[in-house]
Amino acid sequence: MRRALARLAVAVAVLLGVVAVLGDATWAEHEVYYRYTVLGYVKDARGRPVRGREVTVVRDKTGFSYLGETDAAGLYVIVIRLGDESLGERLTVRSGASTAKLTVQFDVENKSDERGTRIDLDGGRFVERTAWFPSTPSPVSACRSGKIRTTSRRRRRWRRQARAG
């Protein structure tokens, strides 16, 4: 009986250890340095927002696709799981017949700020805009930096900046 209890105690301890280790690994998936956000606006030839347009981002290395859809303002936001090892990786962005290639860029040392890029579809042509992500070098020399907020203020700011630029 004592042997059976001892084995049971060891088994429970091992199981708890495995759960603790896997729990930490799962949590890492939600850390900021495992996310890369691709966002932008889709507009028609007249500059009006296109609602309900599907946007796809494909990791060229793996072929894995991430899907998004535009809202009433034409905004789409796609969050991709990319870690530090993905620096320099190529992404393909598609919407309808339009396609663009991106190279993943961010500061590997920056583990606190969001990573990502903005790419708009203006009348059938993709245009990469100034990055708003502090950890991501801007494709344009004049960088507007600011932390991404998860409130409605973020969308209002994106809309204002999309109209302006």
At residue 1, the 3 state secondary structure works out as coil
Q: How confident is the model at residue 112 (pLDDT cuts 50, 70, 90)?
A: confident
Same domain, 11 and 40: no
- pTM of the predicted structure, to 2 decimals: 0.65
- pLDDT of 144 reads 35
Same domain, 65 and 18: no
Of 74 and 146, more confident: 74
Q: Could you list the residue range(s) of the whole structural domain that residue 110 is in?
A: 32-164
Same domain, 159 and 97: yes
Q: Following DSSP, what letter does each residue of 112-123 receive, concatenated?
A: SS--EEEEEEET
What total of structural domains would you count in the chain? 2
Of 160 and 145, more confident: 160
Same domain, 8 and 68: no
Q: How confident is the model at residue 141 (pLDDT cuts 50, 70, 90)?
A: very low
At 94, which CATH number?
Answer: 2.60.40.10
Tell me if 86 sits within 8 A of 105, measured CB to CB: no
Same domain, 122 and 79: yes
Cα distances from 88 to residues 62, 94, 104, 136, in angstroms, run 14, 19, 5, 12
Q: Above 70 in pLDDT, residue 157?
A: no
- pLDDT of 9 reads 56
Supply φ then ψ for residue 75, to 5 degrees: -80, 135
Of 155 and 85, more confident: 85
State the average pLDDT over residues 22-44.
Answer: 71
* Least confident residue range of 18-22, 99-103, 149-153, 154-158: 149-153
Mean pLDDT of the chain: 76
- pLDDT of 109 reads 87
- pLDDT of 83 reads 87
Same domain, 117 and 154: yes
Same domain, 72 and 56: yes
Q: How confident is the model at residue 34 (pLDDT cuts 50, 70, 90)?
A: confident
Same domain, 47 and 13: no
Q: Above 80 in pLDDT, residue 85?
A: yes
